[in-house]
Amino acid sequence: MAKAFLYVAGMKPGMAWTQARADNRLRSRDIIRWMNEHLDENVSSGSYDDIRRKDLLLPVEAGIVLKSAGKEGAATNDGTRTYAISLEMAELLHAYGTPAWSAKIADFLAGRETLVEQLKRTRLQKRLPVTIGGQKLYFGPGEHNELQKAIIEDFLPRFGHSADVLYVGDTEDKLLFVQEDRLRQLGFFELSHDKLPDVLAYSQQKNWLFLIEAVHSANPITELRKRTLEQLTEACTAEIVYVSAFLDRSTFRKFAREIAWETEVWIAESPDHLIYFNGDKFLGPHITSSKKF
């Protein structure tokens, strides 16, 4: 990132900061050639996307480097698009290493929100608050996490028989909330297992453990998935309820043929209803023949 920024600013080894330029418009391929020639790098000429997506991503977002310099509105894949530092940044660099630097940087930052602050604020604005057992947590943005929030706030209060959430992950933190001691008491399998469902909740009233998959783009409880979970929960002292949850009916229809028998389906857009794939009963665990004796 620093090397790419240097060349966008028109800097070469041995130059003074007073020589930084705001009119040094470069393509990502130009930056690669400069790195290889002047900094003893060996960057492939085909790595120009890495320059855009990695090396210049944060400087562009922070407003330090201008993308599409002189060609505002150019498409991302426009090969003629160039990068340059802003005139304000060039003037700031001219003061680096001089007695005026501290005052210049203070003026530059005055009233300006840093990129770190912007990203933090954006993340907080987009996060989804959810309260579990009196503890307020935040899911990251996205439809998968929206569905997990709905499972906790809409499905479980309606159909969970006072079930407590014992585990829920997040797309950013797979162990966002977990009560390991209670799961261990129920004889549940190791949490490190890659087959862990999205939400685990336990109803002490019924002695039911809900294994819930939040299905956004994949992974409903199919016959194979159910078989795997049955094997992994053989030692569990609670009876198991399998639930595939969907945000809406259109998503459910995509996976309807894959849903396993003896499982349940819940759709968030119709929160008061369940679809039973049990046949002989309504919501509840299905006792297999191996557990009847």
Q: What percent of the chain has pLDDT over 90?
A: 42
Mean pLDDT over each residue of the chain, to the nearest integer = 84
Rounded CA gap, 197 and 183, in Å? 13
Q: Say how many CA atoms lie within 13 Å of 127 toward its Cβ.
A: 16
Same domain, 98 and 8: yes
Last residue of a domain, one of 57, 85, 120: 120
Adjacent-strand bridge partners of 274? 266
**Res 203 pLDDT > 70:** yes
Same domain? For 114 and 147 the reply is no
Do 234 and 159 have their domain in common? yes
Cα 154 to Cα 115, 130, 142, 148, 269, distances in angstroms:
36, 11, 18, 10, 10
Q: What are phi and psi of 56, to 5 degrees?
A: -110, 0
Q: What is the DSSP letter of 260?
A: P
Greater confidence (137 vs 269) lies with 269
- The model's confidence at residue 133, banded by pLDDT at 50, 70 and 90, is confident
What range defines the domain where residue 113 resides?
2-120
Q: What is the pLDDT of residue 252?
A: 96
DSSP lists the bridge partners of residue 95 as: none
Last residue of a domain, one of 104, 120, 136: 120
If one compares 41 and 173, the residue with the highest pLDDT of the two is 41
Confidence of residue 292 (pLDDT cuts 50, 70, 90): very low
73 & 104 share domain: yes
Report the interhelical angle of 87-94 vs 101-109 (nearest 10°).
150
Which of 98, 120, 142 represents a domain boundary (last residue)?
120
pLDDT of residue 293: 33
Rounded distance between C-alpha atoms, residue 166 and residue 76, angstroms: 44
The CATH code of the domain that includes 283 is: 3.40.1350.80
Q: Do 133 and 267 fall within a single domain?
A: yes
How much is the average pLDDT of 47-54?
A: 78
pLDDT digits (tens, 9 = 90+) for 262-273: 999 999 999 999
pLDDT digits (tens, 9 = 90+) for 235-251: 999 999 999 999 999 99
